[in-house]
Chain A
């Protein structure tokens, strides 16, 4: 190795290259480390609650007796949110991608994106102060006329602060997620398929049913899964709207609780084993949402390989 001034300066440049690419690589690895760390620290802090004797856990019957009602509550709230949000979101996405006048479409898309911009605590405040009050007459009606269904069993909550209200607020929050993803996928439909359907005399709805929906079905499924992930983990809407309690089948009475709201309501004042219990609950939530999100991403990535059709 001869060290001329020329190669020396190149060495300096090479060092810069090494440092910079090393820093970029380190940043990438840091992200993997953080995700791994999230799991690790949650597990470490949760272990005391998992191994503690059952009578020390809140409720006195051990961690699993404590966690399963709020897991069910979380699922109920998320399912309500999806049942309401999915058809509306697909409708909105179709409206923006195929029905709205071209010039208006992007503006209308931005209006729907505004829904995603509103902070969750504001939705919670809105649900607690406005929606719960306005909707409680409807719950009375449901209890009187559909009370034979277990989910509408009366007496309805007088304040309207029920799991159904929380689910409706959640549905507003997941709507923009499902809408924006479905819209992207509807817009990716091969133009030739659409034009072929129209040329054969299909009406617009028949074109959508025959060309757009079959193409977009995996995308819609994953969009709904991502919405589910959001609905499962959403805290404030439930913490502020729901007056929580034991697990009940009726959606229009107060009662039920979700993991995220349980943590938010109790963590600030918690100490000792209670902290571990709540962190363990967070770990359960993390595992559920991680599973849902990974399945959704897997569907999307599998779909990507086939979308070369356009």
Chain B
């Protein structure tokens, strides 16, 4: 800026005691070079290079700034470096997880029949054979995929009416009554219920009502509903709140009953937000493992009936394949199947998240702002 004000190219009095604009780049280049040199002595690896360079960069920039600009500016630079650094640190596990799943999961996913066969009849003998003789890994996730879809669908069918009606009560009828305040508070508390406790609740409930040892897809669906309802309530409530009051008042002025106003005016206006909230809630529960583990057991064959018999699901499939490989002596085929299933699960969750964003963006209500 100052260089455009003063035609003569010399340091103006205004910029005295400031680092030049190129300072960070110079320090970064130096830090990378020195970091590489240090790592070359110790033994080079990319991760260590990044860490050492980051520390050198921070020290160099802060030191230079302290010498030229004084302590306050140097502290500001240090804080900036730490904040940016923490963001980069937070990215590491994300990249690492996605990379690990992609690398380990692709061979499993590309296996013919992985998506279309179940684990029915697949024993350790097949896995031993595939390790010893190099035959393709048999068995797939069809039963688990089917189970996940059925359980999640049933959970959605239970949660959406209850959650949506509760949101309607809170926004349209609650009027800050003690009951509405209590519901809001306990919905918030419910979002914090550990997923395994939700599973235990569903198990304990069905053990008491139907009989000990009742484990079916429906029990798992109830457990997932306990986790899903608060999410649906929260997002629907937010969406119903931003429906402009003028729409309601216009309907009332035309003599429309309150329930028809809600059904025909308020909910259709907010439907895109509600739909995207529901999609996000599904994305949240589709990856839940613990509640399904304690309520639906794990099956190796296809089960089309959510109301009877143990049922497999993608998360529990991953869990059991890692913890109890089909063939304990050669766990590689099992872990290949587990990573393949993990990749499918991540793709499902990401698609649901993306879908929610698209729904919200495509039909976003016009708030007039």
Quick check: which of B94-102, B243-251, B360-368 contacts chain A, the rest being far away? B94-102
Chain A residue numbers with a CB within 8 Å of B213 are: 271
Contact yes or no, A128 B287, CB < 8 A:
no
CA distance A82 to B254 in the complex (A): 56
List residues of chain A with CB within 8 A of the CB of B174: 28
Interface stretch of the complex, out of A13-21, A139-147, A189-197: A13-21
B310 nearest CB neighbor, chain A only:
A268
- Contact A24/B172 with A118-B346, A235-B195, A235-B196 known, Cβ cut-off 8 Å: yes
Contact with B along A83-106 (1 / 0, CB 8 A): 000011111101110011000000
For window 149-191 of A, CB contacts with B under 8 Å fall at: 172, 175, 179
Residues from chain B with Cβ under 8 Å of A95 in the complex: 83-84, 86-87
Q: Is B40 an interface residue (CB 8 A)?
A: no
Structural contact, B192 and A226, CB atoms closer than 8 A:
yes
Given contacts A205-B80, A285-B196, A289-B192, contact A121 B342 (CB under 8 A): yes
Distance in angstroms between the alpha carbons of A127 and B258 in the assembled complex: 53
Q: How many residues of A contact B (CB 8 A)?
A: 93
- C-alpha gap A179/B78 in the complex (Å): 21
Q: Which of A112, A236, A297 contacts B185 (CB 8 A)?
A: A297
Contacts of A94 in B (CB 8 A): 83
Query: What per-residue 1/0 map shows which CB atoms of B245-275 lie under 8 Å from chain A?
Result: 0000000000001111011000000000000
CA distance A260 to B200 in the complex (A): 11
- In the complex, A38 has a CB within 8 A of chain B: yes
When A264-B294, A285-B194 are in contact, do A35 and B186 touch as well, CB less than 8 Å?
A: yes
B172 nearest CB neighbor, chain A only: A24
> Which parts of B155-201 form the interface with A (CB within 8 Å)?
161-166, 168-170, 172-174, 179-180, 182-183, 185-190, 192-198, 200-201
Cβ contact within 8 Å between B197 and A42: yes
Task: Write out, one digit per residue, whether chain B residues 309-346 have a CB within 8 A of any chain A CB (1) or not (0).
Answer: 00000010011001100000000000100110010011
Q: Does B301 contact A (CB under 8 A)?
A: no
Contact of A121 among B162, B197, B283, B319 (CB under 8 A): B319
Return B105 CB to nearest CB of chain A, in Å. 10
Is A31's CB under 8 angstroms from B196's CB? no
Q: Within 8 Å of chain B (Cβ to Cβ): is A115?
A: yes
With A31-B190, A117-B283 already in contact, the answer to whether A205 and B165 are too (CB < 8 A) is no
B194 touches A235 (CB 8 A): yes
Q: Is A210 an interface residue (CB 8 A)?
A: no
A65 at the interface (CB under 8 A from B): no
The answer for the CA separation of A185 and B8 in the assembled complex, in Å, is 47
**0 or 1 for each of A40-82: is its CB under 8 Å from B? (1 = yes):** 0110110000000000000000000000000000000000000
Q: Given the complex, which residues of B lie within 8 Å of A30, measured CB to CB?
A: 162, 166
- Supposing A94-B83, A120-B287 touch, asked if A27 and B189 sit within 8 A by C-beta, the answer is no
A130 to B342, CA, bound (A): 14
Contact in complex: A31, B322 (CB < 8 Å): no
Q: Give the chain B neighbours of A246 by CB distance below 8 A.
A: none
Bound-state Cα–Cα, A32 to B226, Å: 11
Contact between B72 and A41, CB atoms less than 8 A apart: no
Name the CB-closest residue of A to B169.
A24
Q: B229 within 8 Å of A by Cβ?
A: yes
Specify which chain A residues have a CB less than 8 angstroms from the CB of B78 in the assembled complex.
205
User: Which among A13, A24, A99, A114 is the interface contact of B166 at CB below 8 angstroms?
Assistant: A24
Could you say which residues of chain B place their CB within 8 Å of the CB of A23?
A: 165
- Which residue of B is nearest A292, CB measured? B192
C-beta contact mask, A252-281 vs B, less than 8 Å → 1, else 0?
000000001001100110010001001100
Most buried by B among A25, A42, A122, A240: A122
B85 contacts A by Cβ under 8 Å: yes
State how many angstroms separate the Cβ of A234 from the closest Cβ of chain B: 7
Instruction: Name A16's closest neighbour in chain B (CB-CB).
Output: B259
A230-B80 contact given A264-B294, A286-B197, CB 8 Å threshold: no
- Could you give, for residues 80-94 of chain B, a 1 whenever the CB lies within 8 Å of some chain A CB and a 0 otherwise? 101111110111011
Tell me the bound Cα distance from A267 to B286 in angstroms: 21
**Smallest CB separation, A173 vs chain B (Å):** 9
B170 with A260: CB separation less than 8 A: no
Q: Are A25 and B349 interface neighbours, CB within 8 A?
A: no
Tell whether A208 is near chain B: CB-to-CB under 8 Å.
Answer: yes
Q: Is B303 an interface residue (CB 8 A)?
A: no
| Any B CB within 8 A of the CB of A229 | yes
For A129, the chain B residues whose CB sits under 8 A away are 100, 104, 322, 335
A13 contacts which chain B residues (CB < 8 A)? 257, 260
CB <8 Å contact, A125 and B93: no
Query: B233 contacts the other chain (Cβ, under 8 Å)?
Result: yes
Q: Given the complex, which residues of B lie within 8 Å of A92, measured CB to CB?
A: 86-87, 90
Q: Which residues of A contact B169 (CB under 8 A)?
A: 21, 24-25, 27-28
Chain A residues with CB below 8 A from B212, complex form: 275
Chain A neighbourhood of B353, CB < 8 A? 114, 117
Top 6 A-B pairs, shortest CB-CB distance: A233-B194, A119-B287, A91-B86, A27-B165, A20-B259, A293-B192
Residue positions of B touching A, CB distance < 8 A: 72-73, 75-76, 78-80, 82-87, 89-91, 93-94, 96-97, 100-101, 104, 161-166, 168-170, 172-174, 179-180, 182-183, 185-190, 192-198, 200-201, 203-205, 207-208, 212-213, 226, 229-230, 233, 257-260, 262-263, 283, 286-290, 293-294, 297-298, 315, 318-319, 322-323, 335, 338-339, 342, 345-346, 349-350, 353
Q: List 19 A-B contacts (CB under 8 A).
A: A30-B162, A30-B166, A32-B182, A41-B201, A91-B82, A114-B94, A118-B287, A119-B286, A119-B342, A125-B342, A179-B90, A203-B73, A226-B192, A235-B196, A264-B196, A264-B294, A289-B192, A293-B189, A293-B192
**Could you list 13 further interchain pairs (A-B, Cβ under 8 angstroms) beyond the known A13-B260, A206-B76, A267-B294?**
A34-B229, A38-B226, A88-B89, A120-B289, A126-B96, A233-B195, A236-B315, A264-B196, A264-B289, A279-B200, A285-B194, A289-B193, A301-B185
